[in-house]
Structure 1
Amino acid sequence: MMAFAPTAVMAQDQDEEEATEVDELVVVGSRIRRDTYNSPSPVQVVTREETVLAGYNSTTQVLQGTGVTGGSSQINNAFGGFVTDGGPGANTLSLRGLGPSRTLVLLNGRRVSPAGSRGSVGSADLNVLPTAMIERIEVLRDGASSIYGSDAVAGVVNIITRNNIEGITFEGQYNFPTEANGAGDQARVSVVGGLSGDRWHISGSAEYYNREEIALGDRDFTACNTDYRLNRATGQFSDFIDPLTNERKCYPITGTGSNGVTINTIGTSSTFGARAAGVPSTYAGTFNRWRPNSAVTTGLVGYEGVGATGLNLNIRDTFEPRILNRSLISPAEVATVFLEGAYDLNALGNAEVYGELLVNRRESSQTGYRQLSLDYNRGSLLIPANLQFSNFLAPQPTSQPGVNVGVRAFIGFGNDTSTQENDFIKYTAGIRGDFLLPEWRYDLNVSYARSDSTYTFESFLTNRLRDSLNVVVAPVGTRAELTRTGVLPTGLTGTVTCAVNVTNPSANCIPAPFLTSQTVGGVLPENWKNYVFQPVFGNTMYEETTVTVGIDGPLFSLPAGQIMAFLGAEFRDAEIDDTPPLDSINNNLLNLTTALPTRGTDSVYEVFGELEIPLLANLPLAQELTLNVSGRYTDYDSYGDDTTYKVGLVYTPFDWISLRSTYGTSYRAPALFEQFLGATSGFLNQSSDPCNNYDAAGVFANRAANCASEGLAPGFTATQGITVFSQGGAGTGALAAETSSNFTAGIILQPSLPTFFGDLSIAVDYYEIEVNDGVSRVGSGAILSRCYDSTAADFAADNGLCRLVERSTTGSRALTVRDSYTNVSTDIVEGIDYNARWTRELGPGSLLANLSVTQFLTQASQLFADDPLDEFNGTIGAPEYTATADLSYAWDQFRVRYGVEWIAGQDSYEYVGLSGPSDYVFDTPDYYIHNMSVQYAADEFTITAGVRNLFDEDLPSISQGAYNRIGNAPLYSGYDYVGRTGFIALTKSF
């Protein structure tokens, strides 16, 4: 996938693999025009031809591949069921494992602004990028804020499109998984064309991409995720055995394992009843969780006991077939139009006016599964006579004021759907030409980008559930469709309706179903489901305007050559406006967080410059010694001004060896959502209260004293969950920008070898990036523990993190935590990149081999300055080594390729605190993906066919408890959840 080009543009052609120098180009990492790729910073080039041979069907897949990312985890379409920045369906890019907000994405050297849905939009969505028009992709694996401004901390990716196209080319590619039950096909069709005249040209593309869904039930490894705990002594699994199947128990509703979520069950006050399978025969027989069983005629008739204090939770049901309808790989349809053109004015310094237009629409969706905890009011007419005794819980959100819950039904409700419709547009207009001085050029351009996303998800509405559960005997003449007929607790057949229908006939409330075994089993009236379970809509708008001006050219000549300079200025203005569903704002979504609007703006003025100074050239032991320096002054409305700089050096003592190094600083301004995120509520279990049993032996003395100072009784146990509010940092005080330092040092070898050996290029680059004052949320758990473990003086004065914690002085003494964005963390990444490229004429054709290896030496973070450095290099999801290698042979009109992607095994035992023998499995073996393809290229058409993941590599399995999982496999983008996939691509030119 990688074309390695250390000293010149290595333009890969289908007919030959020769290096060709481009007269004048601008390479990512610099603003200065040059005629070679000699750069103090490491640059990787991905060519169009290699991406086709590798079987990638979109720019997103190319950028998220191991060869570009070095194995760092990416947000892709397997994350549809998780909360991610940019919202469901967005795909982002993270270099060096530092997160997408620290990787800058460019299109033809200009920023791609953020896109996505919901309030946390802060990074470019790779879905907006064109595929058919791409000529090459340049990847700078180095900080470059002095060149490009904010976000260029871990690296920069520049997508270069084709121009000056003549004629029309139709393209199509079809990828078809062979192991996914016929699901998951990908198709892309496009047309690329262009025209030109003496003084003008225009070219562009239109393309459509469709990715079909893969559900959990379509792949064997996701059909049954278990605890996956292994007895090392016997080699046998020690998972819980489901008493209903006598097999290891499945928990596919959770994605993590162990205990799942109860369904097909009711909760009542404790009472005597029959034991279900799996309950020890020695158990006394008093239960508070029950499963319907019509064969039970004693105790609680019609029910068997499955839960009580001291009983294993796994006895309860956690599975039903609709769970497997959940999305493993979520579907999407993407349509993209890209146009570019220019017109020579023959004026204003031989200037040309130019423009670009990018229009993109993404329609994506995710299928989920919902459990419903349906709380029947104590004494409700919907509760049968044999359950009227129960007094299960204090009033809940769907209860009537002051009325306890009599019975809770844990129901497997069924599938739900989330959708996103994201419209993105970006247009650029500019003028460029000769400046006043000889060989100087100017470029002035204006860009505007807008992301407009409408997002929909389904939720239970608390007020409608509350109304539907408050029923009365229907008065004569009540509309039949608004009533429910069943057996009333008195044993008489009757009709009930919502109480609100009596007082307000236009309410159209549908009463909840009677509590029966069918109801508990998820067989629910459609009209009631449609009444209480509704789609809700939100909208996210993100706009960004950029004005950039730059001039570049030679300052004066030194003996070694000309000093080249670039001077520029830029203005950017961005605005975010996310309006969540009204029911979310009003806290009317059952068991979901509330969210307030996210609205804010920020703007920046910047001036920057770059110098390239040739110190020595064409001398003994100094074929080249070139210094590159750059600097930028930045002034943000949000946090003020700052400066960044970078210094780089290239030294070539002989033609066959070059040394290069850089040191610089970078920064990331807080994203708009990090500043202005509307307050969002969430919850922690009451077990997270740090004062639970604070007087027990071994509790830290500071914590015990602080808990006692709040007047909590010895032996205190929290009985209510912890409320957590999150919001942007602008609401709690100013946020500072993240700052970072970047150091690289490398060597490039291009030895002159005998002709029979071929040509060899090798590059080895060391890098170290340290990010300080990272913008993030501390985390509610860390806030609570550090507050309650602080000194008595700080605790009493609400100093430090204690200012974010509040405990009620009455009732259950519940906690509230405010976890907002702030500057807290330090991140350190250190490693070595190894790259090699070898070509040789062999027989009737030529052989090409590429190898790229990434070795991480350190991947670590630190939440607070006085915390120990948390090293996670080599743990699950953060491999120490990754590599890609490919071998291709081209002759006449044919080319064949074989590629391998490798992710080293990972080990998390020490990281999760398991130092001794354990039946938990927290290590993974080496993982390989083999790819093969063949291509035939004629004058006007090309056909490519191949297979990705040729041997359908088995996915590694880990235990539940420490990591999110897909099936039993870790949630990690480096693993191929789709399996073996064939592909065929065709192009036809006219």
Structure 2
Amino acid sequence: MTNYRVSKSGTLRTALLTGAAAMVLTSFPAMAQSSQASSEAESLKEIVVVGSRLRRDVFNSPSPVQVINREESVLAGMVSTGDLLQQSGVTSGSGQLNNAFGGFVTNGGPGANSVSLRGLGSGRTLVLINGRRVMPSGTRGSVGATDLNTLPNAIVERVEILREGASSVYGSDAIAGVINIVTQKNIEGVTAEGQFTRPFDNGGEQARASLVGGTSGDRWQIAGSLEYFQQKNLTLADRDWTRCNLDYQRNPTTGASVDFVDPITGQPKCYPITGTGSNGVTINTLGTASITGVGALGSVGTAFNRWRPNSAVTTGLPGFEGVGGGSNNINVRDTFDPRTLNRSLLSPVKTYNFFGQASYELDEEGASEVYAEFLYNRRESWQTGYRQLSLDYPNTSPLVPANLQGRGTAFGSLLHTGPGLRAFIGFGNDRSEQEIDFYKGTTGVRGDLKFVPNWRYDFNVSHANSEGSYLQQSFLTDKTSNSVNVVTAPAGFNSALVRPGANGVGVTCAVNLTNPAENCIPAPVLNSQTIGGVLPQDWVNYMFRDVVGNTKFRENTATLNMDGPIFELPAGMVQMAIGAEYRESKINDTPDPNSVRGNLLNLTTSAPTRGKDNVYEIFSEVEVPLLKDLPLVEELTFTGSGRYTEYDSYGSDWTYKVGGNYRPAKWMAIRSTFGTSFRAPALYEQFLGTTSGFLSSQADPCNNYGAAGVNANVKANCAAEGLSPNYSATQSVQVNSGGGRAAGVEAETSENFAIGTVIQPELPDGMGEFSFALDYFDIKIDNSVTRIGGTEILSRCYNSVEFRSGAPLCRLVSAREAGTNRLIISDSYTNIASSITTGLDYNIRYETEVGPGDVTINGQLTQFFKQKSKTFPDQPYDEYNGTLNTPEYTLNADLTYRYENWKFRYGFEWIASMDSYELLGLNPATDVRIAKVPSYDLHHFSVQYKTDDWGMTVGVRNAFDKEPPKISSGLTGAKASYSRVGNSPIYSGYDFYGRRVYVNVSKTF
């Protein structure tokens, strides 16, 4: 993580980060800055480079830093700081959590956006504003990363990215790198700005409006920004490639489709209900015992246990045709409902943001000043989903017509006891909502240490708070159960609670007779309308409810930093920084009471998440100039830093970092660092409330363990529990997942090595300026915090020789429940996994005059050598480099031509082809599934006209309307599992919007 701060005022002009200056200390900017930067940079002294707390007189950081100027991000069409941070030029193609994950269970809850460097996860990337931490925020219990929605945009001057470990400088979380958002200072006047982005196809429009203003006096200054941002809903119906979710399977020899052909349409079948392809999820279907009847088109045999309404059928099961059972293909069943296409492809969101900053010099010399910052953000996001309802009717219920009476079977119903009939109903759309208020206030004092010459200090305290509510809609188990358990209504009973039964006689809920205050609405009669999803609204209102939870996260911080010279050597002054920090964090997530008590039909329970942690830290950093102005040694500088950390949660730890910068000639520099970093377990990883889930009874290792091929250890261990070899498991395996504080979860640790070179040859006059940087990185993480998974826990426990007497994972598996032999697994967060990431960053920049203007070319290529991980120490590493969503190569480049007030830009993004056949254990010569995607490229064009007081930018992103590539459904294995949207991987490197035009207008008053 790399922070740039200034000397007295804390400002560093945008120009400082461009041109030759930025090249020397960084892996050059992905987006260039104006050509006037070089001369302005020379006039500025004593800055603090991100990744360090020392002021420097030259740009000589041993760490590679990427700098992106916001003005260039506007030219590139970025609509927010989050948008900028998630683009592949910053993340090297790593998958990011964005608005495409609204329908998934994710850290931070739906609508949260985060950034992950090097593909190591958002929890291992530290985000700062002006060198100070930005607290995590979001909804639900798993809040552990900065939500990019909270960041300001219009007042941002630049973004600095350090892609190497820096815990010795910044503390926990800085394993993969640090991102520092630097705001503008010394603002005079008011600037209004508006931007609108419109896809050529409908959906996903974006609009942003902002005001940035400031003023100052002799000893004070104040500035701030006010912003509004909106992204409209982008649904599955809005894009061609998401309207029909296919299996997308091909004959490996001929390339011809082998997808299931719908016998009704004669076309490959769409499976939009879950988005996972051919999986048996169905609507408009009735489940019964096996009955002889008339089969639907495409069915085989005469006995069926799944039926579709068909009024033309008069024999067998009148009014129904068979669509499943025996050797029937389950895909004959209905899977398509037009309402499934109303689901959100990209979640809509609105944000309101205010950022303010002020400072006042306490003396006329400006030797000390007080300062303050305040950030407020409100996020309103929502998602549209689609729900199937499995509604179970008792076998002889008055709601069941005569021809279906007694035709049911045991479904393991949550709604009633005994055999019954199950209606698989296409219920329709549901909605999730999140509203989050986030604020962070900072105040401090900084200035010269009068009793120590040339030393400065900075002491500040911060308070941050996030409070969010989250709403989802769910069927309530008790209400739904009440509604299907009906009796004949007494004469004169409340007519609002009575409906005709299957035989026309009025019925009411049995609970209404014992508890009149319940006001239960009886379920509809089991008929074709009900099965087809045409449902009475009063019944829907009774059993389908809004479920609301609340999440609070708080963080208090106090930091003291001092830096200055300590003594002089022949090569220069030795600099030192020392400091201390205290942080207190607290989380309080309270799910809806129905969720806590397990009353959400077919959903897991969620217990409250409550806990806190405190950390005390001291740190120091030193820079020693060893040699200077000697043959083959223009400069040789050593840097070192160390930090001692003590957490209430797990104890103390040390981290360190050493580095050097060697310049054998003026045109060449060699830099290298080695250090350790750590990540303290997030509060949710310590305190997450227990959530219950279930594995199939077939996951029980002792199920029919006497069969041939079963591991000998499993046989012995199951026999030791008194189970017979032909034991048949009938109980699902309960998996309780939660925080690992009680089990002693500790911090992750890592080692980070980097070495690189910067080359800036002096070209002949008229040839321009050329810079090239090459940096190698090697990051190894040990003791990674993870959950093992219920299936893996069971397998390793029952396959062990020690079993209950000593196998480590068996302590997570309960003794079998008396009478039922049910197993309960505790799958808490623990320290067990490891990962290794290595690669090269190539950065090039060339600037020269062309005709009446000048042109700048920037390019950043990242090549990964390894991206591998493992869960257990005794396992070999699994290599993910080059597999789906984990590219081996990514390239981000742009060409900008400047002429007077005009700028013309062409941008290019490229992601290499990816292949997961080997990882999943598939043979592409014989397997019909497609687990490979070709390389992917995007092209962007824009033009900008800008004067001193107004400007306009017009551009188009994804100019050639490139769609995401396709993969097959069912790509799931022990080492990886891939989710899709439409027929494409859910991967942030792909553009889901399509071709779109944007206009940005600004005016300064």
Normalised to the residue count of structure 2, the TM-score between the two structures is 0.95
Aligned to 2:655: 644
Correspondence list, 1:284-433, <5 A? 285-346=302-363, 350-393=367-410, 396-399=413-416, 403-433=417-447
Partners of 1:208 and 1:334 within 8 A in 2: yes
Q: CA deviation at 1:15?
A: 6.5
Q: Among 484, 488, 507, which residue is 2:518 paired with? A: 507
Cα deviations across residues 142-194 of structure 1 (Å, max 9, x unaligned)? 10000000000000000000011000000000011113xx2110000000000
**What secondary structure does 2:558 align onto?**
strand
Report matched runs for 1:830-869 at 5 Å: 830-869=838-877
In the alignment, is residue 98 of structure 1 matched against residue 107 of structure 2? no
1:778 partner SS? coil
One-letter code aligned to 2:913:
G
SS of equivalent to 2:23: coil
Kept after mapping to 1: 8 A contact 2:195/2:998: yes
Q: How does 1:157-306 map to 2 (within 5 A)?
A: 157-179=179-201, 182-280=202-300, 283=301, 285-306=302-323
Instruction: Give the match for residue 462 of structure 1.
Output: 477
AA in 2 matched with 1:461: L
Shift of 1:847: 0.4
> Are 1:948 and 2:962 matched, yes or no?
no
CA distance in 1, matches of 2:34, 2:748: 44
Q: Distance in 1 between matches of 2:263 and 2:273?
A: 19
Q: Shift in Å at residue 437 of structure 1? A: 1.1
Question: 2:766 and 2:366 mapped to 1: Cα distance?
Answer: 50
**Secondary structure at the counterpart of residue 176 of structure 1:** strand
The answer as to whether partners of 2:668 and 2:761 remain within 8 angstroms in 1 is yes
Say whether the 8 Å CA contact 1:936–1:942 is kept in structure 2.
Answer: yes
| Aligned position for 1:552 | 563
Judge conservation of contact 1:15–1:891 (CA < 8 Å) in 2: no
Check whether the contact 2:33–2:69 (CA below 8 A) recurs between aligned residues: no
Give 3-state SS (helix, strand or coil) of 2:137's partner: coil
Partner of 2:793: 783
SS at match of 1:729: coil
Q: Residue type matched to 2:445 in 1? A: I
Instruction: Tell me by how many angstroms 1:241 deviates.
Output: 0.8
Instruction: Kindly indicate whether the alpha-carbon contact (under 8 Å) linking 1:17 and 1:846 is maintained by their aligned counterparts in 2.
Output: no
Counterpart Cα distance in 2 of 1:257 and 1:363: 31
Give the C-alpha shift of residue 698 in structure 1.
2.4
For 1:407-430, what per-residue CA distance to the aligned partner results, in whole angstroms no more than 9, with x for missing partners? 010001111111000000000000
Could you tell me how far 1:394 is from its partner in structure 2? 5.4
Task: Tell whether 2:728 aligns with 1:685.
Answer: no
**Alignment match of 1:72 (pick from 86, 90, 94):** 94
- Say yes or no: does 1:934 pair with 2:956: no
Q: Please give the alpha-carbon distance, in whole angstroms, between the structure 2 residues aligned to 1:711 and 1:875.
A: 45
Task: Measure, in 2, the Cα distance between the counterparts of 1:226 and 1:905.
Answer: 22
SS, match of residue 814 in structure 2: strand
Question: Any idea what the Cα deviations from partners look like across 1:816-861, whole Å, max 9, x if unmatched?
Answer: 2111000010011111100001000111111000000111100011
1:293 maps to a residue whose letter is N
Question: 2:546 & 2:806 partners in 1: Cα distance?
Answer: 42
Deviation at residue 73 of structure 1 after TM alignment: 0.4
Equivalent residues of 2:702, 2:727 under 8 A apart: yes
Give how far 1:347 is off.
8.0
- Could you tell me how far 1:13 is from its partner in structure 2? 5.2
Q: Is residue 141 from structure 1 mapped to residue 156 from structure 2 by the alignment?
A: no
Partner letter of residue 762 of structure 2? S
Q: Does structure 2 retain, via aligned residues, the 8 Å contact 1:952–1:980?
A: yes
Count of residue correspondences: 975
Structure 1 contact 742–767 (Cα < 8 Å) conserved: yes
Return the alpha-carbon distance in structure 1 between the equivalents of residues 824 and 238 of structure 2: 42
Deviations 1:611-653 (A, max 9, x none): 0110111221111101000000001000000100000000000
Aligned equivalent of 2:7? none
Q: CA deviation at 1:507?
A: 1.5
Conserved 8 A contact 1:3-1:850: no
Distance 2:652 2:635 in 1: 37
Q: Counterpart of 2:58?
A: 36
Q: Deviations over 1:232-257 (max 9, x none)?
A: 22221111111121111111111221
Partners in 2 of 1:235 and 1:576 — Cα distance?
Answer: 53
Deviation at 1:693, TM superposition (A): 3.4
Residues 15-36 of structure 1 show CA distances to partners (whole Å, capped at 9, x for unaligned) of 7464633322212100001133
Aligned to 2:998: 983
Aligned equivalent of 1:442: 457
- In structure 2, the partner of 1:919 is 928
Retained in 2: the 8 A contact 1:14–1:49? Answer: no
Take 2:25 and 2:144, find their aligned partners in 1: how far apart are those partners? 35
CA contact (8 A) 1:348 1:433 kept: no
Specify the alignment match of 1:965 in structure 2. 980
Give, in whole Å, the separation in 2 of the partners of 1:808 and 1:269.
31
Instruction: Give the letter for the 1:407 counterpart.
Output: L
What whole-Å deviation, never above 9, does each CA across 1:19-64 have from its counterpart, x for those lacking one?
6333222121000011333211110001112101110000010000
Cα distance in 2, alignment partners of residues 14 and 437 from structure 1: 39
Corresponding residue to 2:579 among 568, 581, 601: 568
Distance, in Å, in 2 between the alignment partners of 1:986 and 1:233 is: 54
Q: CA deviation at 1:701?
A: 1.8
Q: Residues 375 and 405 of structure 1 are in contact (CA less than 8 Å); yes or no, is this contact kept in structure 2?
A: no
5+ long unaligned stretches in structure 1:
none
CA distance in 2, matches of 1:677, 1:505: 38
Check whether the contact 1:665–1:740 (CA below 8 A) recurs between aligned residues. yes
Q: Conserved in 2, the CA contact under 8 Å of 1:215 and 1:329?
A: yes
SS at match of 2:803: helix
In the alignment, structure 1 residue 587 sits paired with structure 2 residue 601:
no
Question: Do the aligned residues in 1 keep the contact of 2:91 with 2:116 (CA within 8 Å)?
Answer: yes
In 2, Cα distance between the equivalents of 1:58 and 1:796? 54
Q: Which residue does 1:605 correspond to in 2?
A: 616
Q: CA RMSD in A?
A: 1.6
Identify which of 82, 91, 103 aligns with 1:60.
82
Alpha carbons 2:562, 2:577 under 8 Å: kept? yes
For 1:356 and 1:820, the matched residues in 2 are separated by 39
2:18·2:38 contact (CA, 8 Å) conserved in 1?
no
Give identity over the alignment, percent.
56
Task: Give 1:686 shift.
Answer: 2.6
Distance 2:59 2:158 in 1: 14
Deviation at 1:694, TM superposition (A): 2.4
Q: 1:431: how far off?
A: 0.1
Query: 2:974 maps to which residue?
Result: none
AA partner of residue 495 (structure 2): A
Q: Judge conservation of contact 1:388–1:406 (CA < 8 Å) in 2.
A: no
Classify 1:223/1:817 alpha carbon distance in 2 versus 1 (closer, same or farther; 3 Å): same
Q: Could you tell me how far apart the structure 1 residues matched to 2:832 and 2:580 are?
A: 31
Look up the match of 1:539. Answer: 550
Q: Which moved more, 1:717-726 or 1:756-765?
A: 717-726
User: In the alignment, is the contact (CA less than 8 A) between 2:411 and 2:420 conserved in 1?
Assistant: no
Shift of 1:736: 1.4
1:926 partner letter = S
Preserved contact between residue 253 and residue 260 of structure 1 (Cα < 8 Å): no
Could you say which residue in structure 1 is the equivalent of 2:753?
743
The TM-score with structure 1 as length reference comes to: 0.97
* CA distance in structure 2 between the aligned counterparts of 1:486 and 1:706, rounded to whole angstroms: 53
Q: Tell me, in whole angstroms, the C-alpha distance in 1 between the residues paired with 2:237 and 2:799.
A: 47
Match of 1:887 in 2: 895
The alpha-carbon deviation at position 684 of structure 1 amounts to 1.7
Distance (whole Å) between structure 1 residues aligned to residue 357 and residue 586 of structure 2: 26
Partners of 1:826 and 1:428 in 2: CA distance = 37
Tell me: CA distance 1:299–1:798, structure 2 relative to 1, closer, same or farther (3 Å).
Answer: farther
1:797 to 805, 808, 831: 805
Q: Is the 8 A contact 2:847 2:855 kept in 1?
A: yes
**C-alpha deviation, 1:487, in angstroms:** 3.0
